[in-house]
Amino acid sequence: MELAWKNRSEQPIPVACLHLGNISILSLPGEPMVDFQLYTQKLDEKRPIFVAGYGDCGPAYICTEKSFTEGGYEPYASHVVPESEKTLKSAIEKVIS
């Protein structure tokens, strides 16, 4: 998986959301930290939003920017940069609305 990620071109990573009535199911790439689910739920606290990871396993762990300074296994094994938190949150906002 890591070799495939390194050989990947500028192919976009999908972030998708399925809206069924007042319920939404958000599909995120990699293995996102729970912080992204908590962030998503704060965007619209009136409806249930279910968050599922592994939409694209290439990025591996998707950590918050802060977690990269805290250390641990996940930031070390991540295939994304700390600034990716902002990019992912922006994508979440677009598909949730």
Query: How much is the pTM?
Result: 0.89
Within 13 Å and on the Cβ side, how many CA atoms surround 78?
Answer: 23
pLDDT at 94: 97
pLDDT at 15: 96
Asked whether residue 4 carries a pLDDT value surpassing 80, the answer given is no
For range 50-59, the mean pLDDT? 91
Buried b (16+ CB within 10 A) or exposed e, 53-64: bebbebbbbbbb
pLDDT at 72: 92
Radius of gyration of the chain (CA): 14
The larger pLDDT score, comparing residue 61 to residue 57, is at 61
As a whole number of angstroms, the distance between CA 51 and CA 66 comes to 21
The burial of 20, by beta-carbon neighbours within 10 Å (0-12 exposed, 13-18 middle, 19 or more buried), is given as exposed
Domain residue extents for the chain: 2-96
Asked whether residue 82 carries a pLDDT value surpassing 90, the answer given is yes
pLDDT at 6: 76
